[in-house]
Structure 1
Amino acid sequence: MDAHDAPAFLHEVILFLALAGVLIPLLQRRSINPVLGFLAVGMIVGPFGLGQHTDSVPWLSYLTFSRQEDVAVFAEFGVIFLMFMIGLEMSVDRLWAMRRLVFGLGALQVGLSALVIGGIAYAFGNTFESSVVLGFVLSFSSTAVVMQLLTQRREVGTPLGQATFSVLLFQDLAVVPLLVVVSVLGQKSGESVTTLMGVAALKGIATVALIYFIGSRIVRPLFHQIAVIRQSESFMAVTLLTTLGVAALTQAAGLSMEMGALLAGLLIAETEFRHEVEVTIEPFKGLLMGLFFMSVGMGIDVSAILAEPLLLPLSVIGVLAIKGLILIVLFRLFGLSWGRAAEGGIMLGQGGEFAFIVIGMALGLGLISPTVGHFMLLVVGLSMLITPPLTLLGRKLGDGIDARLGRPATAEASAPLDQISGHVIVAGYGRVGQLIGELLSEQGIPHLAVETDAKRVKKLRARGAPVHFGDASRPELLRKLHLERAVAVVLTMDHTAAAVHAVKGIRASSPGVRIAARARDEAHAQALRDAGATVVIPETLESGLQLAGSVFDTLGVPGDVATRLLEQERARRIAVFRPG
């Protein structure tokens, strides 16, 4: 980048940060979905919106994006980090627990949708290769849009949320072979498609094996070393290096960067650093995904919509209707009520963000004509744009259907399929924390632990302990351990300020959860009580009571009398540190 380009690049970054930091929060205050906000803002300030008038109104150049390619590179990073986060969610245990929905419901949805849409595309005169690409790519939905909607409505843990997530999970898995298929179909060599597919498959297997070897030999030990020195900036740097480094490795092997980011997430998903990495990368993913959706909005040409006032809306409606009807039937077959099935079908009816990658790749390889490619990108962009308001209508429709059929609208709020609930979170897994964990295990009470000592975490996980690396004073990390479904949090942390900060964060995130905290002394106990702890036990109290008990025994005080005296004193002291 030369000096002439630098100001333009800087202008794009500053304008985006201003929009993300100022305008989008204002839209959210008016209950406008952030995804919808980014799409709409992209349409307004993009090259097909106000950006096309910069020649006649020069001052608009300071407030608009006149060239979409200036943001396209950064927008691609948003998709890379999205795939990385998806990889973090794809632990082997989770896939196995959800195998019926992921590989049953998800596979049927993609297969049936691709068959119907691809058949229609072929009937409209597209080539076989073009129809295959369009059929599969339009069968995918937008993971970013749908998961954002489910998260905002706190429905990820419901059966509808789990079924929806399973469909999206299979679609994300299917992106990788689809990219391989597109690259093979686009090759003009004289070799057969079967031969090319075999070569691509072998290359993919070799790349995955190499990445797995690198991950087990380099990535995990590197995370462990960084965690030992407890440098948060180094931890963040290694996280970004892993994501982009593995993505660059797969690109060098002739595969996609998105596949590499997915594999990078999978490498970390089975380690004790998974939740800490999720918390670390979340701000970057949010910003970059916002930039991606803004770039999608920039690609929606309103004049093209006006030029096709009938065909374009009918195509959007057609995609939504085909996928929606298939999904409604499949959701019902897999156990959802008709109302929730209808809601899920409407929610997943849109095209997905990977269409912009796959269709762009197909355009570059000559598999799809420019006219068809750009038209389908408009269809996908518009379908994503109208999804948030459509989902609100879908929810009302689903509630109405369930009410009419005699089923309550909230009937789906059952326990998640693969997520822990009714558990205890133990923050700090030293000697005291481990003792608590052992007692909980003996009674069959599920628990999760979080610990900042990476060496201790590694040793305990080798023994099968449910402990994760991370700082419990970060409430966002505890939310990754499903704080909202926990029955209690036990804090045994050594660091005084961190424990007080953790109590405040937990109480703000989950006002009703019971917090039992260990304190160094009575002053620390008072601080924890003021922060919102339910029960506080000072270490000095138990030490003092045990020593007093020893003295009573030496003096010949009867055992039952000594026990009663100690219990009375313990109860009196603990009562002082209970919230009033």
Structure 2
Amino acid sequence: MTDFLLLAVIFLAAGLVAVPIATKLGLGSVLGYLIAGIVISPVLSLLHVDVVSIQHFAEFGVVIMLFLIGLELEPKRLWEMRDRIVGLGGGQVVITAAAVFAIACAMGMNWKYALAIGCIAALSSTAIVLQTLNEKGLMQSDGGQASFSVLLFQDIAVIPMLALLPLLASPELAAAAHDVGHGADDGHGSSLSLVAGLEPWQATLVSVGAIAAVILGGNYLTRPIFRFVAAANLRELFTAFALLLVIGIALLMTLVGLSPALGTFLAGVVLANSEYRHELEADIDPFRGLLLGLFFMTVGAGINFALLAEQPLMVVGLAAGFMLLKAVILFGLSLVFKVRGAQGWLFALGLAQIGEFGFVLLSLATSSYILPDAIAELLLLSVALSMLVTPLLFIFREQIIAPLYDRTQKQRAADTIDENNDIIIAGRGRVGGIVDRLLRTAGFSTTVIDFNSRHIDFVRKFGFKTYFGDATRPDLLHAAGIETAKLIVVAIDDQAQINEVVRHVIKHHPNVHVVARAIDRTHVYELWSLGCRDIIRETYDSSLRMGRSSFEALGISREAAQKMTDAFDVIDKQRLREQAGDYDVTKPPWENEEFITRVRESLEDWEAELGTAMQSIMREDHEKQS
């Protein structure tokens, strides 16, 4: 018990210290965990800790992560991705494995060794890539979706690899192992299997049956079980069942020789339309984060620095060679499948490493006498180093590659504006586009400016006239006719740029009416200080409508719900105008002590006044309904 508690303290303390520091420095949580593992590696060695065993346990975090990703994907969406999953994923695995195989054979390596290494090199790290994409908000980008498609195919490809690699066993290695007295026991013991000793066609039937059981059980059995568990009104029981569901499916997949990660992903997709989906996410997600953090730390702790010191050029050269080869192949595939620009680099650099399944295949390769121990140890270290470098590649892409493409966009010459309208709209995104359509359908002519060249090319295909240019530039506003315009709608999605446009127009063109988009309440105060008085909070009106719908859902009539919403709107805007004068824009919100004090003092009166108005409206409504 003491040993377990000591290990828990070491890992938790290392993560709690390293990750916040790494995140604050812009390195990301994954690199923080890896560094934490490297730091505690000497301590673990002194305690004779079996890092590999802990790593096998922590890999369950990948299983949970794929279950949660499956919950976000409806079957229809998965079917829509089939071309990329098979094309991009299949192409990457086959081409990478074939290229490594050919290079290794050309260097005189045994073809069995070469094929095993090719299969290992073809796989990337699901844990690191998906964690980093989610952390940086890139999962829904074109490069993020392409990466996910490849990772999903790789998880499927692991299954035949695990089945075929033992066929490459070398009798010479087996004989040598027995001669030195090892190989009879790999330290992991025997494992249960439902397909051991079966004919291939029988094993296939069992595997298909297990997949069918997951799909049918997810569709027809989980709901009644969830209702039964929920009836107890004990949250811990729901958490226990959620864990049982994931662990049980992972166990079933393992027993039939399939990837547990693939099985839980499939279960997540099946449950994507379930009314219990969000509860499942909330209960499972903390376990995913902790286990993935533990897994990353074990990768860092497992780096064999003694071997690295003995053969630094060999180890670094192997890791660099694998990553360079994979990056070139991935970038080529990104061009074929039209993952262009900075997204192509995200795809290529993000998947260039060899992943956690490489550890699994290397363990199998040594225990099944496929690879010599000397080669396997070099590959294990190369895999760990490639995973360690990956967060740095994401940072390189973010800091160096992406700005280059942004600069290229900026170098595109602004369009010549050949019309002079009374209305200028700066920004044609999800806000400016609707404003433009609303005004045009009412018969008003607008001049729309946007700085996203790809988006402009897209909307032009639908016949929407938009000029490319940076609305923060005074010369572009001049070309758009700001001197004679009556109105400018500032709908850019960047707070600093909104302020810049508003500041310029109000100072140099005071006769032009400015309607400005505010990102949040604090931004309203900033725009107010610049002199703008027609400020629209981008989520305010939709929030009021949601509140009104909530009133109606609670039995209040539509008329009364609207009156209550209007009462809130009037008082909130009144308070907003009063508070704007107290806000010091030169200080961060949390340092505006005078402003915070005034708001807290007025909050009680505000709530009392609004509460009285609300109660009066509801009483009137109740009397009318009765």
TM-score band (shorter)?
A: 0.5 to 0.7
Partner of 2:353: 350
The separation in 2 between residues aligned to 1:343 and 1:109, in whole angstroms, is: 15
Indicate if the aligned counterparts of 1:184 and 1:196 stay in contact, CA closer than 8 A: no
Partner of 2:27: 32
1:337 aligns with 2:340: yes
TM-score normalised according to structure 2 size? 0.61
Partner of 2:114: 131
Deviation at 1:321, TM superposition (A): 0.9
Indicate if the aligned counterparts of 1:106 and 1:166 stay in contact, CA closer than 8 A: yes
1:391 aligns with 2:417: no
Partner of 2:13: 18
Deviation at 1:27, TM superposition (A): 3.2
Partner of 2:61: 78
The alpha-carbon distance between structure 1 residues 298 and 539, as it changes in their structure 2 partners (threshold 3 A), is closer
AA aligned to 2:27 is I
Partner of 1:100: 83
AA aligned to 1:332 is L
Partner of 1:285: 288
Deviation at 1:338, TM superposition (A): 4.1
Partner of 1:313: 316
The separation in 2 between residues aligned to 1:33 and 1:545, in whole angstroms, is: 50
SS of the residue 2:140 aligns to:
coil
Indicate if the aligned counterparts of 1:113 and 1:139 stay in contact, CA closer than 8 A: yes
Deviation at 1:315, TM superposition (A): 0.8
CA deviation string 1:347-375 (max 9, x = no partner): 22111111112222232222222222222
Indicate if the aligned counterparts of 2:90 and 2:153 stay in contact, CA closer than 8 A: yes
Of residues 112, 116, 137, the one that matches 2:99 is 116
The alpha-carbon distance between structure 1 residues 109 and 206, as it changes in their structure 2 partners (threshold 3 A), is same
Indicate if the aligned counterparts of 1:106 and 1:167 stay in contact, CA closer than 8 A: yes
The separation in 2 between residues aligned to 1:244 and 1:408, in whole angstroms, is: 53
Indicate if the aligned counterparts of 2:548 and 2:562 stay in contact, CA closer than 8 A: no
Deviation at 1:244, TM superposition (A): 0.8
Partner of 1:513: 539
SS of the residue 1:310 aligns to:
helix
1:366 aligns with 2:369: yes
Alignment coverage as a number of residue pairs: 432
The separation in 2 between residues aligned to 1:265 and 1:567, in whole angstroms, is: 40
Indicate if the aligned counterparts of 1:142 and 1:351 stay in contact, CA closer than 8 A: yes
Moved more, 379-388 or 162-171: 162-171
Indicate if the aligned counterparts of 2:156 and 2:262 stay in contact, CA closer than 8 A: no
1:236 aligns with 2:239: yes
SS of the residue 2:221 aligns to:
helix
The structure number with the bigger radius of gyration is 2
The separation in 2 between residues aligned to 1:138 and 1:178, in whole angstroms, is: 12
Indicate if the aligned counterparts of 1:518 and 1:538 stay in contact, CA closer than 8 A: no
The separation in 2 between residues aligned to 1:569 and 1:88, in whole angstroms, is: 37
Indicate if the aligned counterparts of 1:515 and 1:535 stay in contact, CA closer than 8 A: no
AA aligned to 2:312 is P
The alpha-carbon distance between structure 1 residues 182 and 86, as it changes in their structure 2 partners (threshold 3 A), is farther
CA deviation string 1:402-456 (max 9, x = no partner): 36765879xxxxxxxxxxx979xxxxxxxxxxxxxxxxxxxxxxxxxxxxxxxxx
CA deviation string 1:177-227 (max 9, x = no partner): 333334666699xxxxxx965454333213222333443443332123334
The alpha-carbon distance between structure 1 residues 361 and 199, as it changes in their structure 2 partners (threshold 3 A), is farther
AA aligned to 1:44 is V
Deviation at 1:137, TM superposition (A): 2.5
AA aligned to 2:25 is R
| CA RMSD, Structure 1 to Structure 2 (Å) | 3.9
1:206 aligns with 2:209: yes
The alpha-carbon distance between structure 1 residues 573 and 104, as it changes in their structure 2 partners (threshold 3 A), is closer
The separation in 2 between residues aligned to 1:160 and 1:356, in whole angstroms, is: 26
Which ranges in structure 2 are unaligned for 5 or more consecutive residues?
Answer: 172-197, 413-428, 432-492, 494-519, 523-536, 577-626
TM-score normalised according to structure 1 size? 0.65
How does 1:474-553 map onto structure 2 within 5 Å?
Answer: 512-514=538-540, 543=557
The separation in 2 between residues aligned to 1:71 and 1:570, in whole angstroms, is: 55
Partner of 2:303: 300
Indicate if the aligned counterparts of 2:144 and 2:346 stay in contact, CA closer than 8 A: no
The separation in 1 between residues aligned to 2:44 and 2:564, in whole angstroms, is: 74
The alpha-carbon distance between structure 1 residues 260 and 184, as it changes in their structure 2 partners (threshold 3 A), is farther
Partner of 1:276: 279
Deviation at 1:242, TM superposition (A): 0.6
1:68 aligns with 2:68: no
CA deviation string 1:266-295 (max 9, x = no partner): 442343333332232111101001111111
Indicate if the aligned counterparts of 2:52 and 2:302 stay in contact, CA closer than 8 A: no
Indicate if the aligned counterparts of 1:337 and 1:402 stay in contact, CA closer than 8 A: no
The alpha-carbon distance between structure 1 residues 507 and 279, as it changes in their structure 2 partners (threshold 3 A), is farther
AA aligned to 2:13 is A
The separation in 1 between residues aligned to 2:558 and 2:312, in whole angstroms, is: 82
The separation in 1 between residues aligned to 2:109 and 2:217, in whole angstroms, is: 43
How does 1:166-181 map onto structure 2 within 5 Å?
Answer: 166-181=149-164
Of residues 221, 226, 232, the one that matches 1:223 is 226
The separation in 2 between residues aligned to 1:571 and 1:91, in whole angstroms, is: 38
SS of the residue 1:386 aligns to:
helix
Indicate if the aligned counterparts of 1:116 and 1:135 stay in contact, CA closer than 8 A: yes
Deviation at 1:382, TM superposition (A): 0.3
Indicate if the aligned counterparts of 2:34 and 2:297 stay in contact, CA closer than 8 A: yes
Partner of 1:43: 38
Moved more, 128-137 or 12-21: 128-137
How does 1:124-163 map onto structure 2 within 5 Å?
Answer: 124-163=107-146
The separation in 1 between residues aligned to 2:91 and 2:344, in whole angstroms, is: 15
Deviation at 1:567, TM superposition (A): 8.6
The alpha-carbon distance between structure 1 residues 297 and 515, as it changes in their structure 2 partners (threshold 3 A), is farther
The separation in 2 between residues aligned to 1:393 and 1:576, in whole angstroms, is: 49
AA aligned to 2:81 is M
AA aligned to 1:111 is V
SS of the residue 1:121 aligns to:
helix
The alpha-carbon distance between structure 1 residues 73 and 344, as it changes in their structure 2 partners (threshold 3 A), is closer
Deviation at 1:251, TM superposition (A): 2.7
Deviation at 1:537, TM superposition (A): 5.3
Partner of 1:7: 2
Indicate if the aligned counterparts of 1:83 and 1:259 stay in contact, CA closer than 8 A: yes
Indicate if the aligned counterparts of 1:355 and 1:380 stay in contact, CA closer than 8 A: yes
Indicate if the aligned counterparts of 1:143 and 1:352 stay in contact, CA closer than 8 A: yes
Of residues 245, 248, 252, the one that matches 1:245 is 248
The alpha-carbon distance between structure 1 residues 215 and 130, as it changes in their structure 2 partners (threshold 3 A), is farther
Indicate if the aligned counterparts of 2:203 and 2:256 stay in contact, CA closer than 8 A: no
AA aligned to 1:323 is K
The separation in 1 between residues aligned to 2:43 and 2:38, in whole angstroms, is: 9
The separation in 1 between residues aligned to 2:247 and 2:95, in whole angstroms, is: 34
Partner of 1:549: none
The alpha-carbon distance between structure 1 residues 297 and 545, as it changes in their structure 2 partners (threshold 3 A), is closer
Moved more, 68-77 or 149-158: 68-77
The separation in 1 between residues aligned to 2:253 and 2:129, in whole angstroms, is: 27
Indicate if the aligned counterparts of 1:321 and 1:349 stay in contact, CA closer than 8 A: yes
The separation in 2 between residues aligned to 1:87 and 1:318, in whole angstroms, is: 33
Moved more, 102-111 or 172-181: 172-181
The separation in 2 between residues aligned to 1:399 and 1:357, in whole angstroms, is: 34
The separation in 2 between residues aligned to 1:372 and 1:196, in whole angstroms, is: 33
Indicate if the aligned counterparts of 1:142 and 1:348 stay in contact, CA closer than 8 A: yes
AA aligned to 2:539 is V
1:325 aligns with 2:328: yes
